[in-house]
């Protein structure tokens, strides 16, 4: 599902909303350009691809789900109840994604030289992937990590294009054209040219991620007892979508579609539903429950649900379903260590 950008689709062209053919940019065999050198605190030159280390963090509470989120003060690790947090990487972090296949956390941060894309290893080693990000006007421009059996996303699809890092063999860069590029060939060529200019800063590090891929498909949440909840279908262009319900295992809650519309692309909005009480639940105010949708303002497009189902990252906030919002100001992406799943 994507955010609208204020332009409408010409009549009869709605089918382009589902057109996501991957266009390979054939960058895998390109040789990397000369690296710019960085300077260490003692003024000794060091190649940009050299690994650095983040501060060694303290231990998180045992037995509790742990989220990793991007914020203006750094890459944070936060317990589900919000009582314990630590900075994994200080700085102005724009987005992040937990990668269960490569066993790393991807993130983008603002530096004096611009936006840099990196990932954080389990031992807190920081690896630079892209030294120069070609889309400064789209700070949350998404990346897809395409392994053999799983795809990891840093954010919702872009209406212009999505960058794909293919990690099912020799690391390479691909592009998924967004819906707007279907109407503007010149814009497509401009975006493709920017992406074609990307070079991996450390291809060897990416090969290590490829080697960790065991080809295991992602675990899908079990289906609940409900498949539909009765709601007003007037807010859905595709009437059959309204009321569609998906269980959040471990919580007793369901995500229910209550809106569907199409502009530059199609999207849905959802709310939480408690099957035990027959009430809708505001995810940002879990104590707010109602048998009607009118009182529920916390509608969402995507939600990253904790492995045990007791919390989520939703609408730029970390939510404990028992306590409510425990951390605000979260930026794009985010995820949970040890599992979790996306509702979108």
Per run of 10 residues, the mean pLDDT along the chain (length 344 residues) is 37 35 38 36 34 51 91 96 94 94 95 92 95 76 89 73 91 82 74 88 97 87 82 92 92 93 83 93 87 87 92 95 93 91 86
User: Could you give the CA distance from residue 305 to residue 249 in angstroms, rounded to a whole number?
Assistant: 9
Are the beta carbons of 90 and 73 closer than 8 angstroms? Answer: yes
Angle at the Cα of 23 from the Cα atoms of 17 and 24, rounded to 5 degrees: 155
User: Could you give the CA distance from residue 109 to residue 67 in angstroms, rounded to a whole number?
Assistant: 18
One domain, residues 267 and 205? no
pLDDT at 187: 77
Are the beta carbons of 88 and 54 closer than 8 angstroms? Answer: yes
One domain, residues 164 and 301? no
Whether residue 8 lies inside any domain: the answer is no
Whether residue 308 lies inside any domain: the answer is yes
For the chain, what is the domain count?
2
pLDDT at 344: 82
One domain, residues 208 and 239? no
Boundary-marking domain end, from 212, 243, 270: 212
One domain, residues 73 and 177? yes
Boundary-marking domain end, from 212, 246, 271: 212
pLDDT at 213: 96
Whether residue 221 lies inside any domain: the answer is no
Chain Cα centroid distance, residue 210: 20
Q: Residue ranges of the alpha helices (H) in the chain?
A: 185-196, 203-212
pLDDT at 73: 94
Q: Which residues, at least 6 apart from 265, have a Cβ–Cβ distance to it below 8 Å?
A: 1, 2, 4, 17, 157, 159, 178, 179
Order of strands across the sheet that contains 125-130:
52-53, 125-130, 114-120, 104-111, 92-99, 332-333
One domain, residues 27 and 124? yes
One domain, residues 287 and 324? yes
One domain, residues 83 and 137? yes
Whether residue 38 lies inside any domain: the answer is no
At residue 214, φ and ψ (nearest 5 deg) are -100, 5
One domain, residues 182 and 243? no
pLDDT at 113: 86
pLDDT at 209: 97
User: Could you give the CA distance from residue 252 to residue 273 in angstroms, rounded to a whole number?
Assistant: 9
One domain, residues 252 and 205? no
The parent domain of residue 337 ranges over 233-343
Give the Cβ contact number of residue 3 at 10 Å: 15
pLDDT at 134: 80
Boundary-marking domain end, from 160, 182, 212: 212
Both tokens of 39, joined, read 């300077």
Whether residue 323 lies inside any domain: the answer is yes
pTM of model > 0.75: yes
Q: Which residues, at least 6 apart from 34, have a Cβ–Cβ distance to it below 8 Å?
A: none
Chain Cα centroid distance, residue 204: 24
pLDDT at 51: 38
One domain, residues 151 and 18? yes
User: Could you give the CA distance from residue 288 to residue 261 in angstroms, rounded to a whole number?
Assistant: 26
User: Could you give the CA distance from residue 307 to residue 98 in angstroms, rounded to a whole number?
Assistant: 13
Whether residue 9 lies inside any domain: the answer is no
The 3-class SS string of 276-315 reads CCCEEEECCEEEEEECCHHHCCCCECCEEECCCCCEEEEC
One domain, residues 253 and 206? no
Whether residue 156 lies inside any domain: the answer is yes
Whether residue 59 lies inside any domain: the answer is no
pLDDT at 237: 92
Instruction: Tally the C-alpha atoms within 13 A of residue 61's C-alpha that lie toward its C-beta.
Output: 13
Instruction: Tally the C-alpha atoms within 13 A of residue 62's C-alpha that lie toward its C-beta.
Output: 0
One domain, residues 201 and 278? no
């Amino acid at each position: 599902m994507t955010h609208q950008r204020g332009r409408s689709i010409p009549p009869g062209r709605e089918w382009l909303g589902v057109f996501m053919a991957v266009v390979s940019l054939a960058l895998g065999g390109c040789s990397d350009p000369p690296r710019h050198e960085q300077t260490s605190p003692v003024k000794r030159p060091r190649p940009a691809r050299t690994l650095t280390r983040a501060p060694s963090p303290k231990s998180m509470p045992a037995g509790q789900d742990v989220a990793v989120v991007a914020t203006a003060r750094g890459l944070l690790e936060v317990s589900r109840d919000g009582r314990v947090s630590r900075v994994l990487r200080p700085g102005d972090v724009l987005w992040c994604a937990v990668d269960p296949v490569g066993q790393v956390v991807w993130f983008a941060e603002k530096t004096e030289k611009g936006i840099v894309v990196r990932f954080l290893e389990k031992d807190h080693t920081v690896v630079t992937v892209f030294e120069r990000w070609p889309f400064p006007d789209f700070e949350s421009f998404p990346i897809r990590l395409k392994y053999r059996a799983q795809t990891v996303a840093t954010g919702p699809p872009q209406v212009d294009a999505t960058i794909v890092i293919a990690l099912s063999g020799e690391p390479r860069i691909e592009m998924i054209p967004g819906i707007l590029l279907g109407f503007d060939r010149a814009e497509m060529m401009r975006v493709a040219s920017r992406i074609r200019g990307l070079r991996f800063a450390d291809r060897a590090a990416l090969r290590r991620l490829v080697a960790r891929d065991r080809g295991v498909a992602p675990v899908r949440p079990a289906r609940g007892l409900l498949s539909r909840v009765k709601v007003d279908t007037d807010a859905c262009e595709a009437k059959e979508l309204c009321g569609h319900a998906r269980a959040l295992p471990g919580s007793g809650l369901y995500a229910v579609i209550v809106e569907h519309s199409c502009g530059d692309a199609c999207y849905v909005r959802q709310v939480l539903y408690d099957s035990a009480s027959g009430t809708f639940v505001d995810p940002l105010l879990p104590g707010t429950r109602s048998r009607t949708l009118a009182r529920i303002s916390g509608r969402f497009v995507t939600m990253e649900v904790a492995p045990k189902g007791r919390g989520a990252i939703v609408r730029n906030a970390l939510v404990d379903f028992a306590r409510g919002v425990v951390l605000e100001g979260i930026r794009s992406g985010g995820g949970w260590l040890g599992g979790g799943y996306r509702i979108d």
